Amino acid sequence: MDAHVHLYEDPTMADEETILVAVSDDLESSLKTLSLKGENVVPCVGVHPWSSPEVGEEELKEFEKLVERALCLGEIGLDKRYVPDFEKQRRVFEHFLTLSKEYSLPVNLHALDAWEEVFNMLLRYDVDRAYFHWFNGPLHLLDEIVSQGYYVGINAAAKIQKKHLRVIERAPLTSIMTESDGPYVYRGVKLTPKAVPELIGIIAKVKKVSEEAVAEAVLRNFKRWSGALAQG
């Protein structure tokens, strides 16, 4: 299961064995993602914080027509590292949090260097089902995310990103999902859904459990987050 993949950038990444949570970056990519909807493809629509400075009010309104066909909202959130206009980002993010509540859709979040702000906004908007993609925020916040019943993403880059291994150590198996963020190249490592099985092995090793136990936990978490299983 790949909980965060930009499938519209390369639809050949899909295969029959892997459930893909396909995120979008703007209106155009959201339309492409919706066209890829299938048995194993869970489409998310949204505006990435990197695209939010350019998005207009009209464009945001368009999303109200798309959400009925979507199964989740993302990639949405806030980014304090790469995007200078924080207020605009916040307005766009708030728009999607309102839609999440209105249509009861889970969110797939980008929160680079804005982990606490994103978490606090989820609480303010009373969002039920949230997933922090590629979580590398503070570990004390990880504990709060877990106790809130939200999920954190473990990226296949864990094999070379030491900091990310700390997240695997700390997060309970009941609160993680696996992802690639493909098609993305991180420090020379090609990230695609094909990198997920190796990641399952890494998590199993750190947690000292079997790979099957990890795979089952991740699938169960996905079902809870996506709404395929009742909450609780």
Q: Which stretch binds Zn ion (CB under 5 A): 8-16, 27-35, 143-151, 174-182?
A: 174-182
* Listed residue (148, 33, 130, 126) closest to 77, CA to CA: 130
Shorter beta-carbon distance to Zn ion: residue 2 or 226: 2
Instruction: Tell me whether residue 75 or residue 79 sits nearer to Zn ion (CB atom).
Output: 75
Angle of the 162-170 helix axis to the 139-147 helix axis, nearest 10? 40
Nearest Cα residue to 26 out of 85, 88, 91, 92 = 92
Q: Do 218 and 178 form a contact (C-beta atoms < 8 A)?
A: yes
The DSSP element (H or E) to which 155 belongs, if any, is strand 151-155
The answer to whether 151 touches 177, Cβ cutoff 8 Å, is yes
Token reading at 141? 């916040």
Q: Count CB atoms within 10 A of the CB of residue 216.
A: 13
By the rule CB under 5 A, 181 interacts with Zn ion? yes
In angstroms, what is the minimal distance from the CB of 78 to Zn ion? 14
When the beta carbons of 31 and 206 are compared against Zn ion, the nearer one is: 31
Is 133 annotated as contributing to ligand binding?
yes
Q: Is 110 annotated as a binding residue?
A: yes
Between the CA atoms of 12, 13, 19 and 22, what dihedral angle is there, to the nearest 10 degrees?
Answer: -90
Q: Which of 79, 181 has the CB closer to Zn ion?
A: 181
25 is in an annotated binding site: no
Q: Which residues, 6+ apart, have CB-to-CB distance to 225 below 8 Å? A: 3, 106, 129, 131, 151, 177
Stretch that binds Zn ion, among 100-108, 171-179, 181-189, 196-204 (CB under 5 A): 181-189
85 is in an annotated binding site: no
Q: What are phi and psi of 15, to 5 degrees?
A: -145, 175
Provide, rounded to whole angstroms, the least separation between the CB of residue 161 and Zn ion: 15
We find the least distance from the C-beta atom of residue 210 to Zn ion, in angstroms, to be: 29
Instruction: Give the footprint of Zn ion on residues 25-84 (CB under 5 A).
Output: 75
Count interface residues toward Zn ion (CB under 5 A): 2
179 binds Zn ion (CB under 5 A): no
**C-beta closer to Zn ion: residue 134 or 209:** 134
- Min separation Cβ 147 and Zn ion, Å: 25
Q: Choose the stretch contacting Zn ion; rule: CB under 5 A; options: 93-101, 116-124, 162-170, 177-185.
A: 177-185
Q: Which amino acid makes up residue 200?
A: I
**Residue 121 in contact with residue 151, Cβ under 8 Å?**
no
Give least dist CB 25 to Zn ion, A: 8
- 181 annotated ligand binder: yes
Which residues make up each annotated binding site for a divalent metal cation?
4, 6, 75, 110, 133, 181
Q: Contact residues for Zn ion (CB under 5 A)?
A: 75, 181
